[in-house]
């Protein structure tokens, strides 16, 4: 993986059945900042609350660092509703890939957050995870995915196990479980089949077209 390739998604929109994945930009920060004031989300994501300015700094880091790739999750139906002007109002959560081992750029840690509680338990997380994994495999050369989940987050643990992730360790100190999936040819073909209808679009052009419809 070449330096800077994690910015490959800076103008990428991925369209699924119910969601759109778009690059995390400055317009998304205020809504994201409101989410992260929630003690529940802080606990689920093992995050500390940040000031708004720190959140903008973090967003710039996500866009510029070579070891991170992130998308904001949008409600596709709401985004296509021309009466909803601001993209920020369509935000559901985010999904990230980190390269955690400088000596092995084929190993990636995956994180997903469905921040809006009304969207949980509806299969959105599973769809987004499959889309992100397919993107990681086909665009970033990922060959093994790893997730670290709080032991009390039973819903997420169950979801990843349904996606055939295997539990590899439990850390009682940090109260988290680590699950992994190695991407062999059968996994790769299953991923491609699961998201066969996923479309990749030019984000700026798509936003420009949408803006013409809502204005």
Domain with residue 150: its CATH number is 3.40.630.30
pTM: 0.92
Is residue 1 very low, low, confident or very high in pLDDT (cuts 50, 70, 90)?
very low
Token pair belonging to 214: 């809502």
Structural domain of 137: 12-203
Q: What is the pLDDT of residue 196?
A: 93
Token pair belonging to 112: 């997903």
Residue 142: inside a domain = yes
Residue 213: inside a domain = no
Residue 60: inside a domain = yes
Model confidence over 144-171: pLDDT tens digits?
A: 999 999 998 999 999 999 999 999 999 9
Question: What is the rounded distance in angstroms from the CA atom of residue 89 to the CA atom of residue 7?
Answer: 25
Model confidence over 90-105: pLDDT tens digits?
A: 999 999 999 888 899 8
Question: What is the rounded distance in angstroms from the CA atom of residue 101 to the CA atom of residue 198?
Answer: 29
| Beta strand segments in 12-164, E | 12-15, 19-23, 68-75, 91-99, 107-114, 144-150
| Beta strand segments in 27-143, E | 68-75, 91-99, 107-114
């Amino acid at each position: 993986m070449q330096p800077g390739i994690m910015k490959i998604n800076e103008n990428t929109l991925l369209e699924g059945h119910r969601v759109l994945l778009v690059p995390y930009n400055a317009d998304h920060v205020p809504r994201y900042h409101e989410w992260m004031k929630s003690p529940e989300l802080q606990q689920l994501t093992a995050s500390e609350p940040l000031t708004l300015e720190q959140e903008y700094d973090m967003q710039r880091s996500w866009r510029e660092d070579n070891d991170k790739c992130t998308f904001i999750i949008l409600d596709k139906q709401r985004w296509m509703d021309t009466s909803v002007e601001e993209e920020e109002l369509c935000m559901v959560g985010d999904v990230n890939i980190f390269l955690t081992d400088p000596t092995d750029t084929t190993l990636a840690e995956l994180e997903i957050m469905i921040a809006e509680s009304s969207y949980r338990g509806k299969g959105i997380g599973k769809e987004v995870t499959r889309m992100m994994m397919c993107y990681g495999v086909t665009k970033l050369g990922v060959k093994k995915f790893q997730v670290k989940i709080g032991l009390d987050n039973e819903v997420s643990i169950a979801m990843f196990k349904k996606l055939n992730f295997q539990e590899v360790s439990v850390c009682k100190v940090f109260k988290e479980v680590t699950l992994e999936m190695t991407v062999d040819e059968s996994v790769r073909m299953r991923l491609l089949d699961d998201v066969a209808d996923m479309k990749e679009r030019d984000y700026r052009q798509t936003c420009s077209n949408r803006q013409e419809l809502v204005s």
